[in-house]
Chain A
Amino acid sequence: DVKVTQSSRYLVKRTGEKVFLECVQDMDHENMFWYRQDPGLGLRLIYFSYDVKMKEKGDIPEGYSVSREKKERFSLILESASTNQTSMYLCASILGKGGELFFGSGTQLSVL
């Protein structure tokens, strides 16, 4: 069974903390994505990566960075967490350009 695993289901952090969200996929997919989902706004793309060490900005990259040192792992970093980054974060991966997108179960991040 294919799997995208996010390291934490719930996370509570303080303003100004550095936050790491980890995502691992076991399907040998080239492409990986980080989205945030907020009520009424849907899923918004933060960053994506189509290969190891490659990264591309999505629609809302400000305040975030990413790391992809290995094919199976794509990390999202909040350098200095702020309250407006409280959200559900979803990692996803896809084999090619038009295949099925597989999601992790999400991390609900609260920044206090």
Chain B
Amino acid sequence: RKEVEQDPGPFNVPEGATVAFNCTYSNSASQSFFWYRQDCRKEPKLLMSVYSSGNEDGRFTAQLNRASQYISLLIRDSKLSDSATYLCVVINDYKLSFGAGTTVTVRA
């Protein structure tokens, strides 16, 4: 079983829609969780950290469910510029494990 698994998508949504997807992790001792965004042919960049209590940054909401070992990302009021691949990152000690990414395409 992979350490971190994501639904690859693609999620193809109209502008203004809400889209949500999860990332599951296998190591219950994992300590830190992040969502990264990667545009085509670019390096990944931090979108947001994921806190136990859940956190929001504008139209983006991240949640952590330790009992079921998954994190989620919800994007409200999708914009064309949200089209990207979203990578979840799970950290256990010095080891960072990446999901393979969820592709989101927002259409006009």
Contacts and interface: CB of A to CB of B under 8 A. Distances in A.
B95 interface: yes
Contacts of A105: 42-43
A57 B44 CA distance: 22
Given A90-B43, A103-B43, A97 B31 contact: yes
A33 B45 CA distance: 15
Given A42-B100, A48-B94, A98 B45 contact: no
B58 to A, nearest CB: 18
A25 interface: no
B104 to A, nearest CB: 16
A33 B98 CA distance: 13
Interface stretch (B60-68, B69-77, B85-93): B85-93
Contact of B91 (A35, A44, A98): A98
A62 interface: no
Nearest to A4: B43
Interface in A7-44: 31, 33, 35, 40-44
A42 B88 CA distance: 10
B98 to A, nearest CB: 4
Chain B interface main SS type: strand
Interface string A43-67: 1110010100000100000000000
A104 B44 CA distance: 9
Given A98-B91, A101-B46, A103-B43, A41 B100 contact: yes
A27 B100 CA distance: 27
B10 to A, nearest CB: 12
Interface of A: 31, 33, 35, 40-45, 48, 50, 56, 90, 94, 97-98, 100-101, 103-106
